[in-house]
Structure 1
Amino acid sequence: MKSFNVLVILLLVSQHALCVEVSEGAESVLLPCLHGVSQMDGVLWLSSSSSTVHARKRSGDDLGQQDPRYQNRTSMREDAPQSGDLSLTLSRPSVRDTDNYTCIARSKGQDLNRSVVQLIVTRPVETESSSVWWKVLVPLGAALAIGLISVFLWCKRRRDRQGRHESHNLEQLSTSVLKVEVESGAESVQLPFRTTADLSEEDKVEWMGGGDMKVHVYQNISDQPGEQHEDYRGRTQMSEDPLGTRDLSLTLEHPTVRDNHTYTCTISRDGRVLGRQQVELQVKVLKVEVESGAESVQLPFITPADLSEKDKVEWMGGGDMKVHVYQNISDQPGEQDKDYRGRTHMSEDPLRTRDLSLTLEHPTVRDNNTYSCTISRDGRVLGRKQVELKVKDQTVEVESGAESVQLPFRTTADLPENSSLRWLIDEPFKKVHYFCIDNDVPEEQHEDYRGRTQMSEDPLGTGDLSLTLRLPTGTDRNTYTCRVYNQNQKFLREKTVRLEVKDRILVEDETINNRRSSSTDPTPLMADQSHQ
């Protein structure tokens, strides 16, 4: 009894998905995916159920979330994200693998482009009488092939005619991404898109942001604000008569880092895409650095907006904390978060001078944040600026075996007499030195530091809160924090100092290496053997 396999190849013509058919028992099948996306940092293949088939970054495969069904069965080119060839090889395909597979090009967590491949895996046909089936299948296969070829040629001619008619429109389906940078605090930024397509009043223009947010919709010869995501309402506009001028650029007012996305503008007519452009927006935030223990730091913001006495100025920190509020021509300390009360101030008459900079006194590492200043009038935003604050630890280095080392902290000499201060380390927590009102409290110290610490006389009166640590060793490497409180345990001052204790052996090795590199003798360490 003879048996054989009959393989019928079916070619489907579709503008939306590529169809690949393979017979079960094949060694492997290739799911093609080619993208010309720039700045791609990874690719993700998903099944129709959104399970992960394969994931790859520039550094290599990332298969931690791979569906167990596909383990040890998928592979891609090693340079896939760099070359743009994102095709996936699936080994040992079975009928269970019949599915729609989506290839997604990604960058910085954003989807840049995606395409769908339909995979059909068929079982081989087994027969008992090869001669009988051969007589039946050969004519049937020939007829089917002729029919399919006719359908294919008809589709091809139709698509060619359509392609010639819409050549100008299709040239806009570019996957290139424009990059636009702007500094936080700017009044607006433009996402450019000028098309050469022939547009009509029937066309729809849709700007989309990250997470499928509708940023701006233009349809029926007018804007459609009701379709916008709430984050963009009242903040976007296009030019007058964009379809007539073919200028589909979008202006976004008061951009912030939350607006950092890759935006896609799509032109469509009756659901058919005529053109597309992607624009990556990067809003840069001003960075301000200051050393822990500084008296104050300024978060700068000078606005070009025309301000009036009706305007409200609000500085916000992380977690929607109100850092400073200026309204009705005066500060509003009652609205501040308690961590900032008594620590912030603005210049005199900020609305007239347009200088809305904020001074923050006695900054600590706990103040590290991105701060946002918003100007509003009757609920309408007039301007916005973001400033990232970085409070750095001071670093002190000393050799192991040194007599002592000082952890410096000098502040103003106006601390209340009944204040207390603590030098400590957090990991593991240990009290290094405790000073209360007028005296040291050695019994509060951790045993590792008893008899080894000392402060100047009257530290609260002089403002010199520096700590001297005797006989430092490698076990003293840590970050030390000094905190000052008043009698009600309200925080007044703070400073952090990173202590690095270098082992003497390492220091000696560095000294020897320095001597070697500076010596003019090519063999300075070799003994003179001329007299042996």
Structure 2
Amino acid sequence: MKMKALVGFLTLVHVSQQFSAVVSVYEGVESVQLPCQSSRLPEDTTVVWERYDSHPSTVYQHQHQVYEHYLQNQHYSGRTSMSTDALETGDLSLTLKEPQLSDSGVYICQRFRKEEELSPRFTMLLEVKERPTFPPWLYPMLAVCLALAVAALGWYTTITVSSVVVEEGVCFVKLPYNTMAPLPEDVTVEWSPCALEPMRVHEYCNVPQEVVEVGDWAKCVTLPFKTRTRLPADATVKWKRFELSNSWTVHVYQNGQDKSEEQDDSYRGRTKMMKNPLQAGDLSLTLINPSHGDIGAYTCTIERDGDVIWKRSVRLKLKAIGF
């Protein structure tokens, strides 16, 4: 079905020696446009689209700020339109909604001023074709291929455990899953419940999480994140802290500046990044006056157009003074 939808919106336009343009389109698409470009026209110009092999021949008539009844072919009633500023811009293209096979033919765009026709005329050929049909004998093969594709994608992205029964109060329960398929070294495994609201239960990543330890007497601590990868200048950098199901926005860098208004109150005025971090490849975050309340996992994400293009996690641990 997706293939048919893509084919259905195919429109071909080319210029021939006989016509100003030849437009080919499949029957049933939302609309088709017959292109016609002219120089800017005076306000008292009338533009008439006609088709001489039909009666009456008028397909559409356009006048500026003047409403005048004209005899339009009812076959085109409610299906034709032009731009409201056509005379000013010179774009005299005609839009035809839901083209039908019977719309195939030669269309002529004429311009009149004070009952005199302006030259030249523009002649278009519209070819409305039947939609290509999908051979019925291919449907079973397509269904099999689709099922295989869904299965291949499903095992890799989401694994659902059918049923595990456990008594309340036990120390732990194991949700079993074994796979014989080889997995990439950089794969991330995520466990989450099948619920309306997504919630991450456990995440395993083969890349070890960096740990930063600092004494509770320190005036500042740096959460490192350096990369040699060339990063886009219009990316957004977000540092966040996670603890159980809670999260805090620690620092946001966007459009060349820090966004303090997006920070959590507890971190406002206590964080800083170096100048031009994306260009330098140093996205490290300095946290001023760290305390026990800052302990936890920090994640730095680099986003562009809503997509995460880079991610790094750092765990902060504070160590007390030994006596």
Fold-level match, TM-score > 0.5? no
Instruction: Give TM class, smaller chain.
Output: 0.3 to 0.5
**What is the TM-score of this pair, normalised by structure 1?**
0.26
**What is the TM-score of this pair, normalised by structure 2?**
0.41
